[in-house]
Structure 1
Amino acid sequence: MVKHPPVSNLEDHVGYWLRFVSNHVSYAFTEKVEAHGVTVAEWVLLREMLQLGPVNPSQLAAELGMTRGAISKLIERLCSKSLAERTSPASDRRYQVVELTAAGRKLVPVLARLADENDREFFGHLAVNQRRELLAFLQDLVERHKWIDVPVS
């Protein structure tokens, strides 16, 4: 009989618990925003566009740590849903600016309330200092590993 060294349990790993919580929190939020006809990735882009105002797609890609191709696809989907629009100055048709439509500007606060609701649903039981500590731990991990890509899925 071959002896194997002891193997740790799944539950012994912080990553296991992070993934467990993340899956449940993300799934619930996905259902909430999809009920309004958008994906989580589209929500992230809508939120960023609200903050930036009229913007070049390359700037959006840089801000969100996404490829220009991925941003272009998301913009196209938002345009097809009449939530965003592209414009090009007559002097340079290659340069594009994208911005939210009135419908897009109206939808962002609705989706933001859903994000707030989702946070309360999963983390509302934490004391203020516990929530602050949890955020600090997670933000420290992001900073330590120099992660810049915005989570969109």
Structure 2
Amino acid sequence: MKPKSNEAGAADFALEEFLPYRLSVVTNRASRLFARRYSDRFGLTIPEWRVLAVVGRFGGLSATEVVERTAMDKVKVSRAVRALLDRGLLAREEDAADRRVQRLGMTAAGRRVHAGVVPQARGLEAEWLAPLSTQERATLHALLDRLDARLAEMGAGAAGGPD
């Protein structure tokens, strides 16, 4: 029996073939797998790890800049930052040029956790991507870059979107 629909063509829409949905499913599965690995050892949530990773990479970011770089919702970033501050993994420092801005930096404890998670993340990524050749990996990254650039052109922006 063919499904009924109120809109022409809507019954033919296969969500499982819709690229944004497929990307979301793959991303969510990967994030959960990664999170299980570093949550068990380091007690980090997915948003906390992402914040720690981006601050570890770029340092001295404001929470707003973390939102922009991670494309995570600002409420999730705020909660993650607060948790990392409470655990002593991040510290805030007043911006020298604009005292209203608080810059985030890793503490020594934060650097130790970051240094412990990164090898695990790299190892898991290598395990996950093992079925792909070096060329396929490069192609995947190039295609994702092009799609991301196109989304920016279309006005999607990075800040405050779902993660």
Deviating 4+ runs (over 4 angstroms): 1-6, 8-17, 65-70, 92-95, 149-153
Aligned length: 151
Q: Counterpart of 2:114?
A: 108
Q: Counterpart of 2:105?
A: 99
1:53, 1:2 → 2: CA distance?
Answer: 55
Structure 1 residues 59 and 26, CA gap change in structure 2 (3 angstroms)? closer
Question: Within 5 A, what are the aligned runs for 1:1-153?
Answer: 7=12, 12-15=17-20, 17-35=22-40, 36-66=42-72, 69-88=75-94, 94-146=100-152, 147-149=157-159, 153=163
**What amino acid sits opposite 2:131 in the alignment?**
H
Deviation of 1:131 after TM superposition, in Å, equals: 0.9
Secondary structure at the aligned position of 2:12 is classed as coil
Taking only aligned residues, the RMSD between alpha carbons, in angstroms, comes to 3.4
TM-score, structure 2 normalization:
0.71
Structure 1 residues 66 and 120, CA gap change in structure 2 (3 angstroms)? closer
TM-score, structure 1 normalization:
0.74
**What amino acid sits opposite 2:78 in the alignment?**
S
Moved more, 99-108 or 23-32: 23-32
Tell me the percent identity.
25
Give CA-to-partner distance per residue, 1:99-152, whole Å, 9 cap, x none. Answer: 211010111122222221221121112110011111212221111111524988
